[in-house]
Homo-oligomer: A and B are copies of this chain.
Amino acid sequence: MAERRGSLPFDVADPVLAAAAWSRLVEPGDAAAGALVRAVGTSEALDWLRSGAATPPGALPHRGWISAAERWRPRLAGLDPRRELDVITRRGGRLLLPGAPGWPTGLDDLGDASPMCLWVIGACDPDVLTARAVALVGARASTAYGDAVTADLAAGLAQRGIGVISGGAFGIDACAHRVALACDGAVLAVMAGGLDRYYPRENVPLLEEVAAVGAVVSEAPPGTSPMRQRFLARNRLIAALAGATVVVEAAWRSGALSTARHAAELLRPVGAVPGPVTSAASAGCHRLLREGAATCVTDVGEVVELVAGLQEPGDPDPLVQPGLLDDLAPDHARLLDAMPVRAAATTDGLVRSSGLGPSATLAALGALELAGRVERDGQGWRRVRA
């Protein structure tokens, strides 16, 4: 360890304490900090920061290090991650380090912006909950329509054994958590602030239920207050943890759109649920569709397609009603189309009305007779009633 300009009251060499310390020192997604700890290790990076040296060990001198250290150093004052670890332990939680058992590997796709660690309260490990999971996110000010669609999707995902990830907020988030819980699905909530206090306060009972069977996670240590920038940074975790992200309802400017953008950057599929064009709560979804940033999804089968990359068998579209002419070859459909609805028609008449010509007409009549769609009637032909 280098010179000892500032001393810290804990063992910097302890990787758990060092990771916890970094999660306090930096704002979420600080890529310079991520690059540094990945290059030299959390303990070594922390030791350098404490030392006051201009350049980290092994790094080339660069004024970027000076401004980065200037950003991180003010929070060294009073830093003691043992306190935060005490808090999370008392809450029945734990700290997960990158690569440790339980760590959800999806986060590694964030590269230098991946979290320093994950603070977790929950019965289940995040890697299990996210092995096959979809993020359902959307407007806090959801409508009855949005809630109904969210409920359908969350229930359908839970029934298919697919986890539901969301942000614990009012509206779509809460609805997704609530219904997935009710259907005994895998549930994961990602918080922007510390896990000492779930946010928003009104959802504390819901989030405690999520923790009781799934997990509530945050990259910020206990004591971190939720701020707008942290919500936006949190959204990248939701996107990275999920196999696909679906925006159910979102206003034109909505945090849910940032989740969708993060997912797209991570090359994760993004779905958007359309709604009435008269509803401001669907404007953000339509914006994503318009910009080609999301696939239009209208039911759970299409959401599953997103995450699976292929359609589940045995899930026919309920809206499809086969048409009378659908299973016919074009010539046959054209001939049947040209036949009177009730009266009989002569072959010559059918040749003229269909415009098919004599031989194609006879071929079509033969095929349709075999298929039981037309029958001979004296010298002519008539339709067989369905």
What residues make up the interface of A, taking CB atoms closer than 8 Å to B?
26-27, 30, 67-68, 70-75, 77, 145, 148-149, 227-229, 251-253, 273-278, 280, 282-283, 285-286, 289-290, 292, 295-299, 302, 317, 319-321, 323, 325-326, 333-334, 337-338, 348, 351-352, 354-360
Contact = CB atoms under 8 A, between A and B. Distances in A.
Given A26-B355, A253-B321, A74 B348 contact: yes
A132 to B, nearest CB: 22
A337 B283 contact: no
Given A149-B278, A274-B286, A275-B276, 13 more contacts: A27-B334, A67-B357, A70-B360, A71-B357, A72-B355, A72-B357, A74-B352, A229-B334, A253-B326, A276-B276, A277-B298, A283-B319, A292-B292
A320 B297 CA distance: 24
A77 B353 CA distance: 12
Nearest to A351: B74
Nearest to A271: B290
Contacts of A149: 277-278
30 contacts: A27-B334, A27-B355, A30-B355, A67-B360, A74-B357, A74-B358, A75-B352, A145-B276, A145-B278, A148-B278, A149-B278, A227-B337, A227-B338, A228-B325, A228-B333, A228-B337, A229-B337, A253-B326, A273-B277, A274-B277, A274-B296, A277-B298, A280-B319, A283-B298, A286-B296, A290-B295, A290-B296, A290-B298, A290-B302, A296-B296
A38 B292 CA distance: 41
Contacts of A320: 252-253
Given A274-B282, A348-B74, A358-B70, A323 B229 contact: no
A72 B297 CA distance: 46
Contact of A275 (B228, B277, B355): B277
Q: Which 8 A-B pairs have the closest CB atoms?
A: A274-B274, A71-B357, A70-B357, A289-B296, A277-B298, A27-B355, A290-B296, A283-B319
Contacts of A295: 290
A348 B338 CA distance: 85
Most buried by B among A290, A320, A323, A348: A290
Contacts of A148: 278
A326 to B, nearest CB: 8
A337 B226 CA distance: 10
A67 B359 contact: yes
Nearest to A275: B276
A275 to B, nearest CB: 6
Contacts of A358: 70, 74
A88 to B, nearest CB: 21
B323 A253 contact: yes
Contacts of A326: 253
Contact of A75 (B77, B227, B355, B359): B355
A358 B253 CA distance: 31
A274 B251 CA distance: 15
A149 B276 CA distance: 9
A16 to B, nearest CB: 22
A317 B74 contact: no
A197 B181 CA distance: 61
Nearest to A225: B353
A84 to B, nearest CB: 15
Nearest to A69: B357
A300 to B, nearest CB: 11
A97 B325 CA distance: 34
